[in-house]
Amino acid sequence: MKHFLIFVFCIFTLAGYAKKIPTVYIDGKGVMRWSDTRKEASFYGVNYTLPFAHAYRAMNYLSIDHKNAIDRDVYHIARLGLNAYRIHIWDVEISDAKGNLIDNEHLELLDYLLMRLRERDIRIVITSQTNFGNGYPEHNKPTGGYSYNYDKCDIHRNPEAIAAQEKYISALINHINPNTGLAYKDDPYIIGFEINNEPCHPGTKEETKNYIDRMLTALKKAGNQKPVFYNVSHNQHVTEAYYDTAIQGTTYQWYPIGLVAGYTRKGNFLPHVDSYNIPFSHIKGFDKKARLVYEFDPADIMYSYMYPVIARSFRTAGFQWITQFSYDPIDIAYANTEYQTHFLNLAYTPHKAISMKIAAEVARNIKRGESFGTYPNDTVFTNVHVSYKQDLSELNRPDAFFYSNTTHSHPVAIEHLQAIAGCGSSPIIKYEGTGAYFVDRLENGIWRLEVLPDAIQVSDPFAKPSLKKETVTIVNNAWDMTLRLPDLGEDFIATALNDGNSLDIEAINSTLPCLRPGVYLLKRKDYNPVNKWNKDTRWQNIRLGEYVQPNIRQRKDFTVIHQPTKTVDAGKDLVIEAQIIGPSHPDSIIIYTDKVSFWNETNPYIKMTHTHGYTYRAIVPGTEVKKGFFRYNVIVCRGGKQQTFPSGTEGSPLDWDYIDKQYWESKVTAPDNAIELVSSSVCEEWNGMEHYTLPEGSNHHFFKKYIRQEIEGKKLRLPQIKYLCLELDGKVMKTKAGFITSDGYTYKAPCSCGQDGIIRIPLRELKQSATALLPHAYPTFLTEYFEPVTDIPFQIEKIETLEVSNDGEEIRIKKAWLE
């Protein structure tokens, strides 16, 4: 049967070649081009690792069919308009100790994945080996693969290890995928091979060159004619060796704000991604090699404003292949266990995913080498706009309107629109749900609408991972959706296309009432379509009725997501805002303070009101906000039952047997009090500060703390502030202190102690200076500072991060405050 399938697919392949499926080649100037048109090629996509390592095992833990999981994820990858896929194969899972290829379930799943990608017209780069274990975030699992027998920094110079790699890589490229009937070396959708992932070359340039030459020879003898790529962003002491070989492409990474913070980072990181400068671009042969990004990600953030700028900076630097690391499988994305420092999935991180869709358009439409100036003057380029303040990526051109968050921009040519993708609302779509949606014109008067369920973050996705912990929850709620498209008019019909969905809705004044997640065919009323459209109709690289959503976890109780304001002014109104998620909408939500009592017949309370989506708000009168601490509970009421938070205890503080004593609290101080930024009561070892070191002759120390939460409740006090005050342990000499603002700009001044040992820096003395790009990026050859070219005056209302720097001295920040 297997041989018959291969025969069938061989016939299919020959038919494909008869149609001259275009391949990619690299010309003599290091430019990737299409074989049929000779035009430059450009790719943007993701890594995705389900056939291997933790993602593979997690499917087993959860009793999920691997192939079904792949189908679901590849559909979403296609919906994002991505056309590139890269994987570093865990050679330890498909090889033995001698380098023989093992045809097992991992290889079978890789074959299946490649076939599914091919169906969606997504091109592939395969990194043949990783040369490390398969455990992360678990312990390594013994497999018998050759890489387990050698140290990572010895495997590329040990003769036995190199022989095993030659045998393995030759067998890999000659492996025939039974789903296509093609060997990897002959599949036109596989554009090339990277020899290994992040190699370690501690030896000489000659040793490095000899290793690469041996691998190239092995590939050539095995019949490979595709481009071969090699990583050049590591081992900078041997960089010249890479360009003295016959590799045709070089690969790079970019993690602009570091990795594995263990928590969600906050702030404006646009200066971090303003440019990608390669310091060895002068090396002989540099311009003869194509440039690929094998991995990148602005890790540890949930913002949606970064991806298009990163894509733009890569294009300016001449890259033609850009693949993020890594796309989370939909079946484990709720817990973000695969790589906790990365988090990307259309269903679970819809804002980031739409930003990726926009970045894909940037990568394909900006010319290689095209430049757009320096931040902040480059936040608008071609038809793209990014904003940290709005947490927004936006593409606005005549045929497409994409936005990662609510926007007030109007489409530039609404009558010509062919595609809309977004989260939140815009002038043409009003929607309170939190999932992504896609609206595509099939013909005049006929559109396809796809709406994903709501995604709500319930815990920090970058903290320690566990499949037992939910970081984002999915809610399958119905919301009204208003679509103001001239082509549809105010009266149109929505007919469900996806399986299990039988809704048939008539719009009322352009609004579809109580629209549930799913796929719908939108038809202008009294319009006769030119074509027949149904769920099985092929359109672009999907079927119209295709639809994928996460498994909905049935909620029995409510969850309240709330962050209390740290410090507030006595006598001033206090705004309390929370997100309420549950099995249904609550009947009411009330706030009790810690002063309520079962014995009191007139307990005061404050009712929260619904503002939008899952968000509720209450205003506590200033008369109730008194010096000391304001402590309170939020009580969710539904169907005669009550649930009290933050503990989530069933019942109410007014019940006779209610014993829980957990509260949220805000510190209440006099309006003219100093604003505390760093407290001496915090753990002395850390004090809430991050510590970084940059080599600048002598070590240059940086201490940073994101302080937006500390000042949020004291904004009215900020205009009266005159001084930044510090109490330090250590020598003050060569120390500077100041702030990073919401513009991403740094303002600092030298420190000097007063007679009382307190450093008081007048805010008027803060000077705009270079911004240290911390945490430092990978690869480490990237610039350490952003040098501003635009003068932006310091405004205290914009401060977000406290920064103290010191040249070579050991110091500790005991306290910091504003007065």
* CATH number of the domain to which 778 belongs: 2.60.120
Task: Note if the bond before 453 is cis, omega within 30 degrees.
Answer: no
Domain limit, last residue, from 543, 569, 598: 543
Domain limit, last residue, from 621, 651, 669: 669
How many other C-beta atoms are found inside a 10 Å radius of the C-beta of residue 188? 19
Q: Tell me if 553 is assigned to some domain.
A: no
What residue has token string 């049935």? 554
Same domain, 202 and 224: yes
For residue 535, give Cα distances in angstroms to 497, 516, 531.
Answer: 5, 17, 13
Asked if the model's pLDDT at residue 12 lies above 70, the reply is: no
Q: Residues 6 or more apart from 424 whose CB is under 8 A from it? A: 403, 405, 406, 407, 431, 434
Q: Give me the number of domains the chain comprises.
A: 4
Domain limit, last residue, from 638, 669, 700: 669
Q: Tell me if 554 is assigned to some domain.
A: no
Same domain, 648 and 712: no
d(CA 570, CA 628): 9
Q: Are 533 and 493 in contact (CB under 8 A)?
A: no
Mean pLDDT of 624-635: 97
Q: Residues 6 or more apart from 410 whose CB is under 8 A from it? A: 427, 428
d(CA 622, CA 170): 74
Q: Give 687's pLDDT tier (boundaries 50, 70, 90).
A: low
Q: Tell me if 436 is assigned to some domain.
A: yes
How confident is the prediction for the chain on average, in pLDDT? Answer: 94
Q: Which two three-digit tokens encode residue 343?
A: 């988090």
Q: Tell me if 517 is assigned to some domain.
A: yes
Q: Residues 6 or more apart from 745 whose CB is under 8 A from it? A: 271, 768, 771, 788, 792
Asked if the model's pLDDT at residue 13 lies above 80, the reply is: no
d(CA 164, CA 259): 32
Mean pLDDT of 476-483: 96
What residue has token string 């510590």? 691
d(CA 276, CA 680): 40
Name which of 366, 393, 385 is nearest 42 in CA terms: 366
The C-alpha angle 395, 397, 398, rounded to 5 degrees, equals 150
Asked if the model's pLDDT at residue 755 lies above 90, the reply is: no
Q: Which domain holds residue 759?
A: 675-818
Same domain, 458 and 414: yes
Q: Tell me if 372 is assigned to some domain.
A: no
Q: Tell me if 248 is assigned to some domain.
A: yes
Q: Tell me if 374 is assigned to some domain.
A: no
Same domain, 169 and 234: yes
Same domain, 300 and 420: no
**Amino acid present at 77:** I
Of all residues in the chain, the percent with pLDDT exceeding 70 is 96
d(CA 449, CA 420): 9
pLDDT tens figures, 790-819: 999 999 999 999 999 998 877 889 999 999
Mean pLDDT of 196-211: 97
Task: Note if the bond before 775 is cis, omega within 30 degrees.
Answer: yes
Same domain, 582 and 504: no
Name which of 186, 189, 232 is nearest 208 in CA terms: 232
Q: Are 170 and 152 in contact (CB under 8 A)?
A: no
Q: Beta strands of 353-398 (E only): which ranges?
A: 380-381, 384-387, 392-397
Longest dimension (CA), the chain: 90
d(CA 599, CA 492): 58
What is the structure's pLDDT at 20?
Answer: 84
Q: Beta strands of 567-709 (E only): which ranges?
A: 567-569, 574-581, 588-593, 606-607, 609-612, 615-620, 628-638, 641-645, 649-650, 664-669, 675-678, 690-696, 698-706
Q: Which two three-digit tokens encode residue 578?
A: 């929370």
Same domain, 355 and 386: no
* pTM of the predicted structure, to 2 decimals: 0.96
Residue 411 per-residue DSSP state: P
Strand-pair category, 249-254 with 479-483: unpaired
How many other C-beta atoms are found inside a 10 Å radius of the C-beta of residue 71? 15
How many other C-beta atoms are found inside a 10 Å radius of the C-beta of residue 689? 17
Asked if the model's pLDDT at residue 7 lies above 50, the reply is: no
CATH of residue 592's domain is 2.60.40.10
What is the structure's pLDDT at 4?
Answer: 42
Q: Which two three-digit tokens encode residue 118?
A: 């091919």
Same domain, 718 and 648: no
How far does Cα 379 stand from its chain's mean position? Answer: 19
One-letter-per-residue 3-state SS of 237-254:
HHHHHHCCCCCCEEEEEE
Mean pLDDT of 239-263: 97
Strand-pair category, 123-127 with 190-194: parallel
What is the structure's pLDDT at 761?
Answer: 97
What residue has token string 């194969």? 89
CATH of residue 38's domain is 3.20.20.80
The full length of the chain comes to: 819
Q: Tell me if 796 is assigned to some domain.
A: yes
Asked if the model's pLDDT at residue 15 lies above 60, the reply is: no
Answer positive or negative: Cα dihedral of 616, 619, 624, 627. Answer: positive
Beta bridge partners of 87: 126
d(CA 162, CA 808): 44
Same domain, 347 and 395: no
How many other C-beta atoms are found inside a 10 Å radius of the C-beta of residue 284? 9
Question: What's the Rg (C-alpha) of the chain?
Answer: 29
- HSE, side-chain direction, 13 A CA sphere, residue 116: 22
Same domain, 492 and 536: yes
pLDDT tens figures, 440-453: 999 999 999 999 99
What is the structure's pLDDT at 116?
Answer: 98
How many other C-beta atoms are found inside a 10 Å radius of the C-beta of residue 542? 19
d(CA 286, CA 30): 9
Same domain, 240 and 257: yes
d(CA 438, CA 519): 9
Beta bridge partners of 815: 727
Q: Give 597's pLDDT tier (boundaries 50, 70, 90).
A: confident
Q: Are 79 and 450 in contact (CB under 8 A)?
A: yes
Burial 550-587 (b: 16+ CB within 10 A, else e): beeeeeeebbbbeebbbbbbeebebebebbbbbeeebe
| pLDDT: which is higher, 731 or 166 | 166
Q: Are 564 and 622 in contact (CB under 8 A)?
A: no
Asked if the model's pLDDT at residue 294 lies above 90, the reply is: yes
d(CA 245, CA 784): 30
Same domain, 401 and 343: no
